[in-house]
Amino acid sequence: MPAPSTPPVASRPEWLGARAALAGQRSGRFAVGTIATFIVVVVVLFFVPKDNGTSRGAPGALQRDDSVPLLLHADSAHRAAAHADSEYSATVLAAEFLAGEPTGLTAPQRAKRDSLQLLATELDALIARATNAPLPASYRALAAAAALHGDTRTAKLTDSLDALEKRRAALAPKGATDPPYADLTASVNEVGVAIRDAAVRRRGSLARATSDLDASANGNAAPIDTVAPRALRDSVRHIASASDSALRALRVRNAAVDRDAAAAKSQATRRVPPIAMLFAAMVLAVIAGFSFNLSAEINKPTLATPREAERIARAPILAVARDADRTPRIGGIDPFRMLYLGLTATGTRTRTVAVTGDDRAVVSTVAGRLALAAAADARATLVIDVDAEGSSVAGFYGERPEPGFSDAIAGVRLWREVTRPIGASDGLSIDVVPAGAIRAEIPDSETRESGRLEFARFCSEYDFCVIVAPTDASLVLACTLVDKPVTVLCAEIGRTELMRLQGMATHVRGSGALLHGLAIWDAELPRVAPRSELMTKTTAARVRRPTPEGQ
């Protein structure tokens, strides 16, 4: 029966309980956050100097100043400033009214001046319309203004505007995005701007004519002096501003005196026991540390229990490695012995097993422990690393990563040349094929098929074969070498994200492998030497090796 498309979902309380339990188990970050918060609180409570009020004097030493005289003076200054403002405004209005009334004009001059003002008013309205609504209709109305009658340039511009409008109307059905249509629109706007400029020049000539007519009059109304009222207004405003500044400064001083008195009174009456402060600091530190870890776990949930892994990956648990199981035991039953039995004690004996996961160190350690369990059962065991970039198997066994699998599969080395016996000194039949050199080129189909056949013949010489494929690409490569390999997926408690675990399980099934079960790592991450460190050691060993002449 096919597996369901989605894994069964745990209840919300169960999910939150798992997150809280995992946040509490993370002793490292939890302890660091708790200790740091506790130290900060203790330093603040005990070692930061406290102001007991002695630096500011005892309560009552500083006296408040009386602000009533300054307040009365400020009110009087503001009333005087308001009166001066009103007087100055009235003077300015009277001066502006009298300055705009010319005197001494004759009747014909006054009629001519009214005619010029009428033309200017009409022209102003039409210019404003053309500016706010730059359309051909606005430009035609502006050209037809009485002030522009007889202007030959304006008449020519009007004819040009009409001709351009007719040409553009013929192109209108093609849309405004057509280049000829856009060019005609730009030309229409240029002609309209020229008409508006001619109208602006005509408006300037009307203004000059009006000014010349006013200058020819006998004189204007007698000017009104506005300098003295403005000086009086500015002086009264300055006095009011100075009064406000003095009042604000006095209020700030009185507020500071009030704060000092309140602080001194509070300090004198406060008596907090040191034990209570320590207890509060401890509670605050614990709550802060746990809240931080719980928030991080809820935002990015990780694997909390083996049962949760079984539900997410839809696969059974084959082994759970805990802190007490870190030392391999040959004679006893450890989790990896159970893993080996779960793979081999079936109706059809499994000869080849692929081990994958999201951490190279954990995958290589599980594969190494599985190989040890198989060798302890008197099985000729082979461990093959197909991840050249990580070379975690070489790091687990402390071997050089080159030459290895990539060299043999590419046909540049024989399988026996890259195979190294590991367990011979302990009486165990374990051979290891490291990952080999990192190769960018991809062999052709004939080379790949030949390498696949050679790999099958080579593996058939062993009773049990473990393929280490800690990445998605390496698992795909393993599936090209072995048809539907039995696969063990590794995950770490508190480190593997739930979405990542589900994605890895989906990838294993989608790559053509058979997901046999899960190996859960519930311990500190093992330390495996990286490829760079192994290559450095190999290079140093070659440099230190004596030459035949030196011997």
Could you tell me the residue ranges of all domains in the chain? 12-56+277-299, 102-220, 306-544
Name, in order, each residue with C-beta under 8 angstroms of 170's C-beta and a sequence gap of 6 or more: none
Q: How far apart are CA 512 and CA 483, in angstroms?
A: 8
Residue 530 in tokens: 């990286």
Query: What is the pLDDT at residue 21?
Result: 63
* Owner of token pair 């005892």: 58
Judge whether 296 and 290 are in contact, CB under 8 Å: no
For residue 440, give the DSSP letter: -
Average the pLDDT over 119-139 and give the result: 82
Report which residue type is found at 508: V
444 or 398, which is more confident:
398
Query: Which of the four pLDDT bands, split at 50, 70 and 90, describes residue 7?
Result: very low
454 or 96, which is more confident:
454
Query: What is the pLDDT at residue 511?
Result: 85
Query: What is the pLDDT at residue 54?
Result: 47
Residue 329 has pLDDT above 60, yes or no: no
CA distances from 443 to 435, 446, 453 (A): 16, 8, 15
Residue 539 in tokens: 């290079």
Cβ burial of 446 (10 Å; 0-12, 13-18, 19+) is exposed
Query: Which of the four pLDDT bands, split at 50, 70 and 90, describes residue 210?
Result: confident
For residue 222, give the DSSP letter: P
Average the pLDDT over 515-521 and give the result: 88
pLDDT tens profile 264-319 = 777 655 655 666 666 676 677 667 766 766 676 677 777 778 888 888 888 888 88
Q: How far apart are CA 359 and CA 303, in angstroms?
A: 14
pLDDT tens profile 493-510 = 878 888 888 888 899 888
Cα 121 vs. chain centroid, distance in angstroms?
60
pLDDT tens profile 467-489 = 998 888 888 888 888 888 889 99
pLDDT tens profile 411-432 = 788 888 888 888 666 667 888 9
Average pLDDT, the chain: 76
Phi then psi for residue 285, to 5 deg, are: -65, -45
Query: Which of the four pLDDT bands, split at 50, 70 and 90, describes residue 177?
Result: low
Average the pLDDT over 380-404 and give the result: 85
Query: Which of the four pLDDT bands, split at 50, 70 and 90, describes residue 5?
Result: very low
Angle between helix 335-344 and helix 360-376 axes, rounded to 10 deg? 70
Query: What is the pLDDT at residue 408?
Result: 83
Query: What is the pLDDT at residue 331?
Result: 46
Residue 393 has pLDDT above 80, yes or no: yes
**For 71-80, 173-182, 238-247, 335-344, which range has the lowest pLDDT when averaged over its residues?**
173-182
Residue 328 has pLDDT above 60, yes or no: no
The predicted model scores a pTM of 0.51
Q: 50-54, 249-253, 341-345: which has the highest mean pLDDT?
A: 249-253
Q: How far apart are CA 262 and CA 268, in angstroms?
A: 10
549 or 356, which is more confident:
356
Q: How far apart are CA 363 and CA 355, in angstroms?
A: 6
Query: What is the pLDDT at residue 163?
Result: 82
Q: Which fold has domain 306-544?
A: Rossmann fold (3.40.50)
Cβ burial of 467 (10 Å; 0-12, 13-18, 19+) is buried
Q: How far apart are CA 254 and CA 63, in angstroms?
A: 8
For residue 221, give the DSSP letter: P
Residue 119 has pLDDT above 60, yes or no: yes
Q: From its phi and psi, is residue 104 left (phi > 0), alpha (psi between -120 and 50) or beta?
A: left
Judge whether 91 and 233 are in contact, CB under 8 Å: no
Written in H, E and C, the secondary structure of 98-113 is HHCCEECCCHHHHHHH
- Percent of the chain with pLDDT strictly greater than 70: 71
Average the pLDDT over 68-90 and give the result: 84
Angle between helix 136-143 and helix 107-132 axes, rounded to 10 deg? 170
